[in-house]
Amino acid sequence: MKEARMYYENDADLSLLKGKTIAVLGYGSQGHAHALNLKDSGLNVIVAQRPGGDNYKKAIEDGWKPVSVAEAVKQVDWVHILLPDEVQKKVWEEDIKPNIKKDVILSFAHGFNIRFKQIIPTPDLDVIMIAPKGPGHLVRRQYEEGKGVPCLIAVEQNASGKAKDFALAYAKGIGGTRGGVLETTFAEETETDLFGEQVVLCGGLVELINSGFETLVAAGYQPEIAYFECLHEVKLIVDLIFEGGFGKMNYSVSDTAEYGEYVSGKRIITDSTREAMKKVLADIQSGKFANNWLEENRTGRPFFKKERKDVSERTVEKVGARLRSKMSWIKK
């Protein structure tokens, strides 16, 4: 297997962005981190955030003078979209496309709207992606500590001939080249990101935890004990894997636990599970998932709202809330 190239500080030229004004659209988790990091890197930044709400108040508190998307786009050389996937097409059609200047750089932190052709940029624009592999608060904190969260970059359109260089420069501006930058494509980033969320990180993990919890409770064990065994300790195991892979985790747990992994793990994740994973991936690749999600938003999110309510009412959530209320060390 060929090792992918990683790009670091010396591979990126921040001076490419000097004299450019960058509009950060949206001041949420990623938006606040990008805007502040770019500013602290000596770059010119404008924040676009609609009035009202916590994000607008946060932008004001952080010293910005937020403007509308349309107003921001008219002024800048670079438009970076950090809005929710499901609203980007509308904002593009109504506020960005009518106001964006020729030869501007258009960038994203996730490839959803380009991959599924919700946004079709004009050919004169550089279209790139800079996607930190961590939440916004971590992107900001790591930058302030002189470190950085690794990033993915991608080039969809290279009108200027310098799109990749611009992507690396932006990644350096938010601290990404301190942690390392990996080149990908809009399609690869989008499809693998959605797959990871659905099969492992969110969909798979939530259902695995809940199913384990319910199995123990149905067998007559105390819900509190089931909570600790099936949910609470997940963080401890994930931290070990994060720090040193499966090897460090197995080294750190008991030999009994490691033996249990070998004899039972494949009884849970079976060939049928892998077939289901392939079907999930096929739905992502074909655009079926994207179309369903966009339709869900157009119809007021009935399925989404019902499922969110059902998850909040699960026994594991109620038991967990009660136990966590007494864990002073995690209240922050």
Annotated binding site for Mg(2+): 193, 197, 229, 233
Q: From the annotation, which residues make up the binding site for substrate?
A: 254
For residue 177, the tally of other CB atoms under 10 A from its CB is 25
Picking from 72, 70, 111, the residue whose alpha carbon sits closest to that of residue 92 is: 70
Contacts of 239 (CB under 8 A, 6+ apart): none
Picking from 150, 159, 147, the residue whose alpha carbon sits closest to that of residue 121 is: 159
Known active-site residue 110: yes
Residues facing 182 on adjacent strands? 6, 152
Catalytic-labelled residue, pool 32, 34, 110, 232 = 110
Q: What is the chain's alpha carbon radius of gyration, rounded to the nearest angstrom?
A: 22
Whole-angstrom distance, CA of residue 14 vs CA of residue 10: 10
C-alpha dist (Å) from residue 318 to 84, 233, 243, 250: 29, 17, 31, 31
Q: From the annotation, which residues make up the binding site for NADP(+)?
A: 27-30, 50, 136
Picking from 255, 122, 110, 262, the residue whose alpha carbon sits closest to that of residue 196 is: 110
The backbone torsions φ and ψ at residue 71, rounded to the nearest 5 degrees and listed phi first, read -65, -40
End-to-end CA distance of the chain: 42
| Catalytic positions, written as ranges | 110
